[in-house]
Amino acid sequence: MRIYIYSGGEKIVGRSGVGQAIRHQRECLRRSGVPTTDRWTADAAAVHVNTILPDSVLAALGAKLRGKKVVWYGHSTMEDFRSSFKGSNALAPLFKRWITFCYGLGDVVLTPTEYSRKLLEGYGLKKPVYSISNGVDTEFFKPDPAARSVLRARYGLGEDEKVVVSVGHMIARKGLPEFLELARSIPEAKFLWFGWTSPKLIPQEIVRAIQEAPDNVIFPGFVGREELREAYQGADVFAFLSHEETEGIVVLEALACGVPTVLRDIPVYDGWLEHGKNVYKAAEQDAFQRTVSGLLNHSLPDLTAAGRAVAESRSLEQVGRRLKAIYLEQRVLPPLPAALPQTLAFSGDAGPLSGPRTLKN
C-alpha cells in the first residue's frame, strides 16, 4: 500500500518550512519502507495533506469519497499566524476557524510538537492528534570545519570575522527587528539573515526596519540547500529569535550542523531543548546580547555535541519509524503479521502505542 502525498500548493509553500516538511515526509516514508505516490493510485491507502489551501480541502473530500484515510499535518496555528504578514493580526480569529475546519477533515492530525498538539486540541478538534517531529536530514546537515572559510569567502568577509546567522521569512514573528537590534549592539560581528519574503506581504514597519538595518547586516535572500548548510556550518552562532513556532526545522538543521544556538525562550521548546544543556535561551534583548557575545568570545560552554544529539533523535529514520507506527495504530496501513509488532517499539517506549500522545525522542 502507498501513501499519496498531495502536492497541491507545494509551489506556494516550497520555500517555507511546510515545503521542507513535505520533502521530509517523502524521505521518512522511503526510509521506513512505506512507498509513496504523487497521485491517486489503486493501491493508495491514504492521502497526506500539508497545506490549508482550498484545493487541499478538495483533496481530502476526494479521499473520503474513495473510502481512503486522510492524514492532515497541522503545521499552522492561529498563534504563529499572528505578526506575520499584512493584516495577519486582524485575520487571526478567522484563520483559526478555517484551519480548525481543515484539520477536522483529517482522520488523523499530525503536528510537530507537544506544544502545538495542545494548541490544536484546545481548538476543539475531535480527531486524534499526535505530535511527531518534522525531522532533519542528519546525513546532509552535519558539521564541516572547512565551511568556515568558504562562507567568509562567499560574502567577502575576513577569515577571522565573527558571523551570526538566522533563517526565516522577513517578518516580525521570526524576530527580525530583534535580530537587527542585536547586530547594532555587537558591531564587531557580521549578521546574515537568510530568507526572503515578498515586500507586498511585509508590513511597512518591517520594510522600514530592513531599509535602516546597520551596516554589519547582510541579507543574502533565499539560498539553496547546500548554501544554507554552508551558512550553518561556517557560522559562529545561530540566533533564532522567533516569537512563535510549531517546531522550527531551521533549529534542527542548525543543531545538526554543530553551530552554537541561541533561541528565544518560548513554550514550543519545552521538554526537548534545555537552556545550558543543548542550547542557550533568552527572553530579553540584553540577555540575547550577553549570550551571543559570550559565544563569540568563547566564555560560555560549548553545547554543540548535545545539540547534535537532539537532531539525531529527530533524524528522518527515527521520524519514519514513528510515522509508520502511527499509521499502523490508526489503521492507515494494514496491520503487520502477528509476529512483527515488537519491531515497532521505540527506545524508551513501554510497548505498542496506546493512543494520541507525544512520540518519544
pLDDT, tens only, 69-91? 999 999 999 999 898 888 888 99
For the cut 90, the answer to whether the pLDDT of residue 359 exceeds it is no
Per-residue CA distances from 245 to 83, 268, 270, 311 (Å): 12, 6, 12, 17
CA–CA distance, 80 with 51 (Å, rounded to integer): 15
Cβ within 8 Å of residue 203, ≥6 positions away: 85, 86, 171, 172
CA–CA distance, 40 with 48 (Å, rounded to integer): 11
pLDDT, tens only, 260-297? 999 999 999 999 999 999 999 999 999 999 999 999 99
CA–CA distance, 28 with 131 (Å, rounded to integer): 15
pLDDT, tens only, 346-357? 332 323 333 454
CA–CA distance, 241 with 47 (Å, rounded to integer): 34
Strand partners, 279: 275
DSSP string, 60-103: HHHHHHTT-EEEEE----HHHHTTSSTTHHHHHHHHHHHHHHHH
Confidence category of residue 10, pLDDT binned at 50, 70, 90: low
CA–CA distance, 148 with 341 (Å, rounded to integer): 46
- Grid cell at residue 162: 565573527
- Grid cell at residue 324: 509508520
Residue 168's nearest CA partner among 95, 216, 131, 220 is 220
Confidence category of residue 13, pLDDT binned at 50, 70, 90: confident
| Terminal C-alpha separation, the chain | 27
Q: Quick check: pTM over 0.85?
A: yes
Sheet holding 108-111, edge to edge: 36-37, 2-5, 44-49, 69-73, 108-111, 129-131
Structural domains in the chain plus CATH codes:
2-135+314-344 (3.40.50.2000), 147-309 (3.40.50.2000)
